[in-house]
């Protein structure tokens, strides 16, 4: 038990130390505007532009919550006040907020948003809607120009983003409208689909009309000859209260309206996607050209975007997530494992419940948690904690059940109470198992914590999410390598801890002959 007490106090010390480090950093706060972005290039760039304009106007400081997963998450964040501003798309918002309305107008959308305390700018100019992309050679070979030309080519293999497959105005409606039927369709992430298209694994996918990486893959976009796709005009979405509180900022932001045509947006996206320029730089360059920001070359430095966040910050965030969740898993999981031994039925039921938790996909679990815990570190820690319950409680139970019943009987006859037996005999004897469970949890936490980036908790996941979104292998590795290294470090740390924490009498492998 001593050993476990050591472990718990060590962990809580670490977490406490990290907690204080964080709060002292937050002391320098002034008014903040939290800018959201979703994990794809265009969203990063537009939100970075918004953030730079906010900083340049000077009424408030921009806090970048970039790379948040899924459209629901950002809009929910805005509605609940966790986020302040975002660049979104009319089509996506209509789909999300007015899903049942027939032919909704832009006025309907404005009205609906006002009801949620949100405000919409005019269109920024471009319409980034869906398109169907095929390899140019396929287009030539089968003389495909329009989507309707696909009729009769049901042998073509399609891969579409999950969003496109699920939206009402997505793939299945498209098939109805155009009378096209494809026999082989599967869901695939965007950047992977382009690669798959290039390597002839698939023949067509959904693309975005302003996608900067289209030119490098030699793709042909089929014309939407029946006007099927809704308009996806880029718009700034802001909380009404924030717009009122920072009027100069809102005015400055609205200068972006109508300045980004389709071709302009595609060009800007290509600078990042194809030419690998830094998002911060690309955004700043555009804003300077347009004279939307005044900061001179040598003026106040514009803080780097989230993607250029230092590795140390990410390491700190990642470690914080892993350790806090681990501590919680131990605090709840070990007693749960003990209970499961004392009260078999109830305990087994509880452990079965924790196994059930394991089957919930991490992103889905986060989505359930957001309405309760908001976005950022809290829901992530809670999700990791839930995932850690099973290995910790299960290993505690296994460890306690594996004990020699004669030893427990002896302890009982010697006169130790239930609690004394647990503390002095059973837990120390089971410590090897328990520690193994904690180690497993720690290593799994390191890997799973990469999803944190999707709900704005940072960590190494930010590089992986953005790298995947922008098809940037180097960025993915910048997240993946430290994650792997941290997992390995945790493994060795626990090997070392085991030597220190597991009672010596249990470690002597070979009995010494007297």
Q: Which residues bind another protein (CB under 8 A)?
A: 406-407, 409-418, 420, 424-425, 428-429, 503-506, 508, 511-514
Q: What is the rounded distance in angstroms from the CA atom of residue 458 to the CA atom of residue 451?
A: 9
Residues 6 or more apart whose CB falls under 8 angstroms from that of 478 comprise 311, 463, 467
Would you say 414 or 493 has its CB closer to another protein?
A: 414
Q: At closest approach, how far in Å is the CB of 426 from another protein?
A: 10
Tell the smallest beta-carbon distance from residue 402 to another protein (Å).
Answer: 13
> At closest approach, how far in Å is the CB of 6 from another protein?
14
Q: Which of 59, 40, 39, 62 shows the shortest CA–CA distance to 49?
A: 62
Cβ closest to another protein, residue 104 vs residue 428 = 428
368: its two tokens: 């359930």
Q: Which is nearer to another protein, 342 or 358 (CB)?
A: 342
Q: 476: Cβ–Cβ under 8 A, 6 or more apart, which residues?
A: 463, 464, 467, 468
β-sheet bridge partners, residue 132: 206, 222
- How far apart are CB 421 and another protein at their closest, in Å? 9
Rounded Cα–Cα distance for residues 133 and 209 (Å): 10
Identify whether the C-beta of residue 165 lies closer than 8 Å to the C-beta of residue 171.
yes
Least Å from the CB of residue 422 to another protein: 12
Compute the least distance from the CB of residue 510 to another protein, in Å. Answer: 8
Query: Measured on CA atoms in the order 17, 19, 22, 26, is the torsion positive or negative?
Result: negative
Q: Nearer to another protein by C-beta: 435 or 469?
A: 435
Of 22 and 418, which has the nearer Cβ to another protein? Answer: 418
Look at the block and give the residue holding tokens 């007015």: 98
Nearer to another protein, 121 or 395 (CB): 395
Q: Which residues of 256-291 are buried (b: 16+ CB within 10 A; e: fewer)?
A: beebbeeeebbebbbbbbeeeeebbbbbbebbeeee
Query: CA 62 to CA 51: how far, in whole Å?
Result: 5
Q: Identify which of residues 156 and 422 has a Cβ nearer to another protein in the complex.
A: 422
Q: Please, what's the b/e burial string for 199-231 (b: 16 or more CB within 10 A of its CB; e: otherwise)?
A: eeebbbbbbbbbbbbbeeeebbbbebeeebbbe
Q: Which residues are within 8 A (CB) of 12 and not within 5 positions of it... i.e. 6 or more apart?
A: 327
Nearer to another protein, 117 or 503 (CB): 503
User: At its nearest, how many Å lie between another protein and the CB of residue 391?
Assistant: 23
Shortest gap between Cβ of 341 and another protein (angstroms)?
15
Which residue, 189 or 420, has its beta carbon nearer to another protein? 420
DSSP code at position 116? T
State the nearest-atom distance from the C-beta of 499 to another protein, in Å: 14
Short-list 97, 100, 78, 99, CA closest to 87: 78
């Amino acid at each position: 038990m001593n050993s476990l007490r050591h472990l718990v106090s060590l962990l809580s010390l670490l977490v406490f130390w990290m907690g204080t480090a964080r709060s002292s950093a937050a002391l320098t706060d002034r008014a903040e505007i939290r800018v959201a972005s979703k994990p794809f290039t265009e969203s990063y760039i537009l939100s970075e532009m918004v953030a730079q304009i906010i900083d340049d106007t000077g009424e408030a400081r921009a806090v970048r919550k970039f790379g948040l997963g899924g459209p629901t998450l950002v809009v929910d964040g805005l509605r609940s006040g966790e986020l302040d501003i975002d660049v979104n798309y009319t089509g996506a918002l209509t789909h999300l907020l007015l899903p049942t309305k027939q032919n909704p107008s832009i006025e309907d959308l404005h009205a609906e948003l006002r009801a949620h305390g949100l405000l919409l700018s005019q269109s920024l100019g471009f319409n980034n809607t869906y398109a169907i992309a095929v390899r140019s050679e396929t287009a030539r070979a089968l003389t495909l120009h329009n989507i309707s030309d696909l009729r009769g080519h049901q042998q073509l293999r399609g891969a579409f983003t999950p969003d496109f497959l699920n939206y009402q105005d997505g793939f299945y409606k498209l098939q109805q409208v155009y009378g096209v039927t494809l026999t082989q369709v599967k869901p695939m992430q965007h950047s992977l689909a382009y690669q798959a298209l290039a390597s002839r694994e698939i023949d067509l996918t959904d693309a975005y009309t302003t996608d900067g990486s289209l030119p490098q893959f030699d793709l042909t976009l089929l014309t939407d000859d029946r006007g099927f796709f809704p308009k996806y005009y880029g718009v700034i979405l802001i909380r009404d209260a924030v717009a009122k509180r920072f009027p100069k900022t809102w005015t400055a932001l609205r200068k972006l309206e109508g300045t980004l045509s389709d071709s302009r947006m595609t060009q800007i996206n290509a600078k990042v996607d194809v030419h690998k320029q830094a998002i911060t730089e690309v955004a700043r360059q555009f804003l300077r050209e347009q004279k939307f920001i005044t900061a001179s070359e040598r003026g106040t430095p514009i803080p780097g975007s989230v993607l250029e966040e230092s590795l140390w910050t990410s390491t700190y965030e990642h470690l914080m997530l892993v350790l806090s969740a681990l501590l919680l898993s131990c605090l709840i999981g070990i007693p749960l494992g003990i209970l499961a031994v004392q009260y078999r039925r109830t305990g087994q039921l509880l452990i079965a419940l924790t196994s059930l938790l394991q089957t919930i996909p991490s992103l889905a679990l986060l989505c359930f948690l957001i309405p309760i815990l908001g976005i950022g570190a809290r829901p992530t820690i809670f999700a990791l904690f839930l995932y850690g319950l099973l290995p910790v409680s299960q290993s505690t139970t296994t460890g306690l059940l594996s004990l020699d019943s004669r030893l427990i009987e002896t302890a009982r006859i010697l006169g130790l109470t239930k609690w004394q037996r647990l503390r002095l005999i059973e837990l120390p004897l089971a410590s090897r198992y328990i520690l193994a469970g904690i180690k497993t949890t720690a290593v799994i936490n390191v890997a799973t914590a990469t999803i944190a980036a999707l709900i704005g908790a940072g960590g190494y996941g930010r590089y992986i999410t953005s790298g995947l979104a922008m098809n940037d292998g180097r960025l993915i590795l910048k997240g993946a390598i430290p994650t792997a290294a941290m997992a390995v470090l945790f493994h060795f740390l626990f090997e070392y801890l085991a030597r220190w924490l597991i009672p010596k009498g249990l470690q002597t492998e070979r009995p010494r002959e007297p």
